[in-house]
Structure 1
Amino acid sequence: MNTYCLDCHSEIEYSMTWNSFLFTPKERWLCGKCESQLQSITGERCSICSRPLSLLEPHHIKEGNCLDCLRWEQDPQWRGVLTKNTSLFLYNDYMKTYLARFKYRGDYILTKAFSARIKEAVSAMNTSLIVPIPLSGERLQERGFNQAEALASTAGLQTQHLLIRKHSEKQSKKSRNERIHSETVFALSPTPLNITNQSILLIDDIYTTGTTLRHAAQCLKQAGAKQVCSLTLARG
C-alpha cells in the first residue's frame, strides 16, 4: 500500500533492507525532503528551556543555562516553578509553516508526523499526569480544537484537564518585565484531581518566552504538585 507525505503529498519511499522483509517498516508520515527540513534539537542545550547553546553568544550562557532562564530563576516568584522544558525541534521556517497549517487551517492529521517522537520522549520521563495547555474559550471556538491536546492524543497519551484559561492575551507581545509580573492566566478546573506530590508534564506546541508554561506550572505547584516539567514540539 502506497503512503503519501502529509505535507507535500508526494509518495513516501521506503528503503528495502533485510529487516524490511522480516519486520513491518516503521510508519512514516513525511517524505525524505520534508522530513529533512525539520531541525531536531541536538547537542548542548539550556538545562531548563532546551534552547540550543550553540545559537547563543558565550556571554549569554552561564553554568549550562541561558540568561533568560537564569533571570526567571533569580526571581523568587518563579524560582523552581518549571523544573525543565524539553523541546524536540527548532521553530524554523518549515516548522512555522507546518504548524500554521495545523493550528489555523484545521489540518488535524498533520500531528501524526510527530506522534512517535512525542510518545518516545514522554516514555523517558518520570511523570504521573499529563496536562495539555488549555486554550481560552474564544480561541477554542475559533480553531475547533486544542493543538496541545491534539499532539498528545495523536501520540496515544492519556491527558488530564486540570487547568482552565482565564484570558488569551498573547504573552509574546509583552515586555520581559510585563511577562514576569503579569496576572496569572490559568486557574484550576472546577473538579481537579488530587495532585498533591504528583509529578506533572505539561504539553504544548511551542516554547517561546516560557511565560505560559510557567504560569501553568505555578498554578499546579500552588495546588500541591511536587514538580512540573513540560514537553513542547518546538523551541522558538
Structure 2
Amino acid sequence: MSTLSLLLDPFLSLLYPPRCLLCRTLGAACLCDACARQIAPVPESLCARCGLGLSPEGGGCHHCALRRPAFDRARAMGAYEGVLRAAVHQFKYRDRPQMAEPLGLLLADHARAQSVALHDLRFDALLPVPMHPIRRRLRGYNQSERLARVLARDLGLPLEVKSLIRTRATRPQVGLTGDARRHNLRGAFAVPRPAKVAGRTLLLVDDVVTTGSTLSECAAILKAAGAKAVYALTLAAG
C-alpha cells in the first residue's frame, strides 16, 4: 500500500464508511454477519455425487440419471435463493469483486466445518472454472477465479489458474435446458499443459451449480488430460 493510500484511507472511511452491500448496515465490509446467517443451507436430501437435490417423488437423482457427471463429487455451501442469491448477483453482475473476500471465507469455513463430503481427500491443486477472455474483459474479472484465490489462500491449497482455459465463447447458460447446456459447452475448455494436471486430485471452484453441466465438462477435459480425480465446490446450488 502506498504512503498516499495510508494517509487517505482514514479520511475516506469517514466520508464513505463501509456498509453491507445487501442491507446497507454501517460498519460491515461487503457482507454483514446478520446477512451471512440468513444464507439458506442446501436441502438435506441431496445426491451423494452431484450434490443437487433429489427428486421429491423418489427414484434417486434425475440429474445423474440423465447423464452421469464426469466429476467425482460436488458440493455447494447454500441454496441459490434469498441472501446468497443477492450476494452472488452483486458479486457477478454489479461489478463488486470485493465480495470475493467474505464469500470466499464463508465457503472456506463451510468446507472445514462440514467437510462438504470431501473430508478424506488430499487435493493437489485448486482450479477456478475459467472465463473466456472476451467475457472477462467485458466484466473486468472472473468471479470464480476471485473466489478461488480467497479459498486457496485460506485452505492453504496451491492455485492453478492457467491449467484449465476457456477456448470458445459460449452463450450464457442461464435459461438453457440440460441438453442445451451440454451442447453449448462442448469443446469450450482445454488443458494447455497436461503435465500440470496428470495424476493429480483437483478441486474445481465455481460460483453457482444449476445442472452440473459446466463442472462436468471441465472435469471431463481434466480427466482426459490425465487428472486422477476431480471434485467441485460452489457457493450455491439451484
- What is the TM-score with the length of structure 1 in the denominator? 0.77
Deviation of residue 149 (structure 1)?
A: 0.8
The one-letter amino acid of 1:10's match is T
Deviation of residue 46 (structure 1)?
A: 1.1
Correspondence for 1:72 among 67, 70, 85: 67
8 Å contact kept, 1:171–1:211: no
Deviation of residue 193 (structure 1)?
A: 4.2
Of Structure 1 and Structure 2, the greater helix share is in 2
Q: How does 1:151-190 map to 2 (within 5 A)?
A: 151-155=147-151, 156=153, 158-161=158-161, 162-165=163-166, 166-181=168-183, 183-189=186-192
Give the total of aligned pairs: 208
Correspondence for 1:115 among 79, 92, 104: 104
In 2, Cα distance between the equivalents of 1:128 and 1:90?
28
The one-letter amino acid of 1:100's match is H
8 Å contact kept, 1:172–1:209: no
**What do you get for the CA RMSD once the two structures are aligned?**
2.7
In 2, Cα distance between the equivalents of 1:39 and 1:232?
14
Identity over the aligned pairs, expressed in percent? 27
In 1, Cα distance between the equivalents of 2:207 and 2:233?
8
8 Å contact kept, 1:41–1:89: yes
In 2, Cα distance between the equivalents of 1:195 and 1:94?
36
Deviation of residue 11 (structure 1)?
A: 4.1
In 2, Cα distance between the equivalents of 1:235 and 1:143?
22
8 Å contact kept, 1:129–1:160: yes
Structure 1 pair 120–223 and aligned structure 2 pair: CA distance change class (3 A)? same
| Post-superposition CA distance 1:41-99 (Å, at most 9, x none) | 2523211222234xx3223x42xxx11112212xxxx5xx2111110010014322221
8 Å contact kept, 2:124–2:158: no
Structure 1 pair 93–29 and aligned structure 2 pair: CA distance change class (3 A)? closer
Aligned residue for 1:134? Answer: 130
Secondary structure at 1:228's aligned position in 2? strand
Uncovered stretches (5+) of structure 2, i.e. residues with no partner: 1-16
Q: How does 1:1-236 map to 2 (within 5 A)?
A: 4-11=19-26, 29-32=31-34, 34-41=35-42, 43-53=44-54, 56-59=55-58, 61-62=59-60, 66-73=61-68, 81-122=70-111, 124=115, 125=118, 126=121, 127-155=123-151, 156=153, 158-161=158-161, 162-165=163-166, 166-181=168-183, 183-189=186-192, 191=193, 193-236=195-238
